[in-house]
């Protein structure tokens, strides 16, 4: 037992010593070397800052609107921001009152030089405490243990991570561990991390833990000392040079291959933004990039409903009908109508009012299952703020007649439409002739009726006159 305690104390010492070396290395890096810096434009408050991170994205947490992207879909190594997905699944599937028993694989499966809190094999730790260790100080063995507790094995948990990523609409993500330690087959992208974070922010427990600057894990069955956890994210540490008052939480990451990674979220007024940056060097540029982008969008954008009075033109309907005809290789026998969410509220520039936003419609995207035909784009002429799907109704498919192989489908459709117009014109002509005949018949009937009435009056007049003459003779 004494030997195990000695091992635990030794591991804690190594952890604290390595943390001190990291801090010293970071300090030396800033003082002795020149690096790129985040560029802001104080004299041009409407000009977007230039970021240092190789990949960045800014997403509106409420709507998912993408406000800024830079290599946002490029595969990158995430390092410890992986733990956001780990925490999301832990909160969704775990019980905060559970007890985790540290396995041999969780303790010894991580690299000894990586971040940990010196948990030992057989040590019992509360599930919630383990989650604080994962998100506050990025403890790698705690993340592994959480994964095993939720799914039985790390491999099963990674399957859950990848399935969840697919459900959320991630496009470039594949996880092979729960902590983000480097593996060539463990990757994601800035866009996917924003999606994952947006989902995690739906849980109060996630927000609570990631907003914590200090947390104490009490003594366990194998450690008589408490463990003090201090937040890694400098954006929420008031004593830090990188403190940002509107930041509500975040997760940092670093490996030699990933360089600095950061996910952070900030809220000002009714606007909450998610910022992701990947492959930053030095790591401090993650914070300066985040602060600069948060400030830019908070100061230059506001929520609006620019489509509230939008109406589709006849040209829009004709264009959509042609697109659907080409898609179905047929013609429309119904009355086509288009719709878009006019109540959609999203962020637009302060310089653009709801009434003078530039709205354009394209029919490139067609989805038969969703009954979607194209996209409405809203912007200011140089930048697109938001894209919304356009839906159709009333389209009745009519197959085209068989045509020669290689015939131009658009030409065939136009021919069929011309036939339809000709047929419609012929119908109208016949209809007008029938109306004319009926009008003539009606006029004739009216004339005959008038003559009949006059004749009856004349007969009654003659009868009356004859009666008067006969009465006088008597």
Task: State the catalytic residue, choosing from 8, 80, 114, 286.
Answer: 80
Task: State the catalytic residue, choosing from 83, 164, 234, 251.
Answer: 83
Mean pLDDT by 10 residues, the chain (474 residues): 47 44 37 73 92 97 97 98 98 98 97 93 98 98 98 98 98 98 98 98 98 98 96 96 98 97 98 98 95 97 94 95 92 94 95 89 95 95 93 90 56 62 66 84 86 80 71 62
Distance from first CA to last CA of the chain, Å, rounded? 155
Q: Express each pLDDT in 50-93 by its tens digit.
A: 999 999 999 999 999 999 999 999 999 999 999 999 999 999 99
Backbone angles phi, psi at 361, to 5 degrees: -125, 130
A 10 A CB-CB count for 41 gives 13
Query: How far is Cα 60 from Cα 49, in angstroms, rounded to an integer?
Result: 18
Which pLDDT value is given to residue 12?
46
Place of tokens 């705690």: 142
- The verdict on whether 83 is a catalytic residue reads yes
Contact between 83 and 186 (Cβ < 8 Å): no
Which pLDDT value is given to residue 398?
85
Which pLDDT value is given to residue 450?
84
Domains of the chain: 2-296 (3.40.710.10), 314-399 (2.60.410)
Task: State the catalytic residue, choosing from 8, 103, 114, 138.
Answer: 138
Q: Express each pLDDT in 46-60 by its tens digit.
A: 899 999 999 999 999
Which pLDDT value is given to residue 273?
98
Which pLDDT value is given to residue 426?
65
- The verdict on whether 464 is a catalytic residue reads no
Helix (H, G, I), strand (E, B) or coil at 446: helix
Which pLDDT value is given to residue 412?
58
pTM score, two decimals?
Answer: 0.78
Closest CA to 171 of 190, 198, 197, 156: 190
- The verdict on whether 240 is a catalytic residue reads no
Which pLDDT value is given to residue 257?
97
């Amino acid at each position: 037992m004494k030997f195990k305690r000695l091992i635990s104390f030794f591991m804690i010492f190594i952890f604290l010593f390595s943390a001190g070396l990291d801090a010293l290395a970071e300090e030396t890096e800033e003082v002795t070397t020149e690096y790129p810096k985040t560029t802001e434009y104080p004299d041009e408050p409407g000009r977007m800052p230039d970021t240092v991170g190789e990949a960045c994205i800014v997403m509106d947490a409420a709507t998912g609107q993408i406000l800024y992207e830079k290599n946002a879909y490029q595969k990158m190594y995430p390092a410890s921001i992986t733990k956001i997905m780990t925490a999301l699944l832990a909160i969704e599937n775990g019980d905060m009152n559970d007890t985790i028993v540290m396995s041999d694989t969780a303790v010894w499966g991580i690299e000894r030089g990586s971040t940990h809190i010196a948990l030992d094999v057989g040590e019992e730790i509360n599930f919630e405490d383990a989650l604080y260790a994962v998100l506050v100080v990025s403890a790698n063995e705690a993340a592994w243990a959480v994964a095993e507790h939720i799914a039985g094995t790390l491999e099963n948990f990674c399957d859950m991570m990848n399935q969840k990523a697919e459900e959320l609409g991630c496009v470039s993500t594949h996880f092979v561990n729960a902590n983000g330690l480097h593996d060539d087959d463990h990757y994601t992208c800035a866009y996917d991390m924003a999606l994952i974070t947006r989902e995690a922010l739906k849980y109060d427990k996630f927000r609570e833990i990631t907003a914590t600057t200090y947390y104490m894990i009490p003594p366990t069955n194998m450690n008589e000392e408490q463990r003090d956890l201090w937040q890694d994210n400098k954006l929420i540490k008031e004593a830090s040079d990188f403190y940002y008052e509107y930041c509500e939480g975040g997760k940092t990451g670093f490996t030699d291959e990933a360089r600095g990674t950061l996910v952070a979220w900030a809220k000002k007024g009714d606007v909450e933004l998610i910022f992701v940056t990947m492959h930053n060097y030095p790591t401090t540029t993650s914070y300066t990039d985040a602060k600069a982008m948060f400030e830019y969008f908070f100061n230059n954008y506001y929520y609006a409903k620019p489509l509230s009075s939008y109406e589709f033109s006849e040209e829009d309907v004709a264009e959509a009908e042609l697109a659907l005809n080409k898609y179905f290789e047929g013609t429309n026998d119904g009355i086509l109508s288009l719709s878009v969410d006019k109540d959609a509220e999203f962020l637009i520039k302060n310089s653009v009012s709801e009434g003078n936003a530039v709205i354009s419609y394209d029919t490139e995207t067609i989805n038969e299952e969703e009954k979607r035909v194209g996209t409405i784009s809203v912007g200011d002429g140089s930048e697109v703020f938001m894209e919304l799907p356009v839906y159709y109704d009333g389209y009745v498919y009519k197959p085209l007649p068989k045509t020669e192989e290689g015939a131009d489908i658009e030409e065939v459709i136009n021919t069929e439409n011309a036939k339809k117009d000709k047929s419609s014109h012929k119908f109208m002509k016949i209809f007008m002739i029938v109306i004319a005949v009926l009008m003539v018949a009606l006029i004739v009937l009216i004339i005959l009726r008038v003559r009949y009435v006059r004749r009856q009056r004349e007969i009654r007049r003659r009868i009356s006159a004859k009666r008067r003459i006969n009465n006088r003779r008597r």
